[in-house]
Amino acid sequence: MFSFVVRRVLFAVPTIFVIIVLTFVLMHAAPGGPFDDLPDLDPEVLNNLRAAYHLDDPIWQQFVHYLSNLLRGDLGPSLVYRELTVNQIIATGLPVSITVGLSAMAIGLSIGLLCGIIAALRQNTAVDYAVMAAAMTGVAVPTFVTAPLLILVFGLYLAWLPISGWNGGQIQNLILPVTTLAIPKVAAIARITRGAMLEALHMDFVRTARAKGMPEHKVILRHVLRPVFIPVVSYLGPAIATVMTGSVIIEKIFGLPGIGRAFVDSAIDRDYPVVMGIVIVYAVFIVMLNLVADVLYGFLDPRIRQK
């Protein structure tokens, strides 16, 4: 198991490097630049700005300069918000995205597991059909449709909740964005859980446990749930990284100052360092959470520990 973890960690380094290279090349290949919104700027001043940010260097020199700063933990200055560094922008937006994302995942995991288990235990009944119909709806309806509907009902018609703003992370400001982000997670986890549980319920070791007279609740707790958690854990790795690093649509609609919103604004403004910094943070989260998922596999499936 230890050697398996070491191999995954060693594989993560070139993976992140390739992501950095591709993002750097694609951002610099896109038309336009960070100073295009300053058409009246004196050409000499523009040249000085480009020289100050090394934008007049060949692209390979820019990459080497960026990589050398990155190895020191410096993600560089923002080209648009010149009074801020990329580290400061991420440090400000990441807690917002993490708060909203982890809250949504906690709701999605708890309700999704419960609904999936209930649907599997009541297979082909009205409960099963209702849960799966709701899950299919949650997966099919995008968040940019769900969010305005929730705002319309609970923010405008009923006036129970604020429709935008962070307000220091007050609970009333979190309810609508967290609910919007949690709905597709609940639906996806419920479907995964139901499918995995139906498969586990028909396995030989479960039939053997029942044949020995073990009570049904002990069969479920001791034998069925462990294999059910394996596909759920596989889904949670990238899903948690996605919601923790910010949902662009959610943060835009609800006016949340997270890094997802900063990523879109920076991509539009060609703020290369901010885009690169957020991509690196996202890549690290993906790799680390997938590594955690692999370690959890070892506890859920003893066969993996032998690899």
pLDDT in tens, 205-257: 777 777 777 777 777 777 777 777 878 887 887 788 777 765 777 888 888 88
pLDDT of residue 53: 67
258: Cβ contacts below 8 Å, ≥ 6 apart? 93, 94, 96, 97, 100, 246, 251
Burial class (CB in 10 A: 0-12, 13-18, 19+), 75: buried
| DSSP type of residue 53 | T
pLDDT of residue 67: 85
pLDDT of residue 157: 87
Give alpha helix (H) positions in 141-219: 143-150, 171-201, 204-211, 216-219
pLDDT of residue 301: 62
Q: pLDDT tens track of the chain, all 307 residues?
A: 667 667 777 777 888 888 888 888 887 777 666 666 666 666 676 677 667 766 777 888 888 888 888 888 888 888 777 788 888 888 888 888 888 888 888 998 999 989 988 888 888 889 889 988 988 888 888 888 888 899 889 888 888 888 888 887 788 888 999 998 888 899 999 988 888 888 887 777 777 777 777 777 777 777 777 777 878 887 887 788 777 765 777 888 888 888 888 888 887 777 888 888 888 888 888 887 777 777 776 666 655 555 5
Q: Are 161 and 86 in contact (CB under 8 A)?
A: no
pLDDT of residue 2: 65
Question: What would the two tokens of residue 307 be?
Answer: 């690899």
Residue 119, CA atoms < 13 Å, CB-side half-sphere: 24
Q: Give per-residue burial for 144-176: e unless 16+ CB within 10 Å, then b.
A: eebbeebbeebbeeeeebbbeebeeeeeebbbb
Q: What is the pTM of this model?
A: 0.76
Q: In this prediction, what percent of the chain has a pLDDT beyond 90?
A: 2
pLDDT of residue 111: 92
What residue ranges do the domains of the chain occupy?
86-305
- At the fourth CATH level, the homologous superfamily of domain 86-305 is MetI-like (1.10.3720.10)
Question: What would the two tokens of residue 29 be?
Answer: 């290949």
Single out the residue of 75, 107, 105 nearest to residue 259, CA to CA.
75
Question: What would the two tokens of residue 281 be?
Answer: 């943070």
CA-to-CA separations, 82 to 40, 89, 229, 234, 275, in angstroms, rounded: 18, 11, 47, 40, 15
Helix, strand, or coil (residue 77): strand
Cα–Cα distance for residue pair 115/135, rounded to 1 Å: 9
Cα–Cα distance for residue pair 220/208, rounded to 1 Å: 13
Cα–Cα distance for residue pair 206/190, rounded to 1 Å: 21
Number of H-type helices and E-type strands within the chain: 14, 0
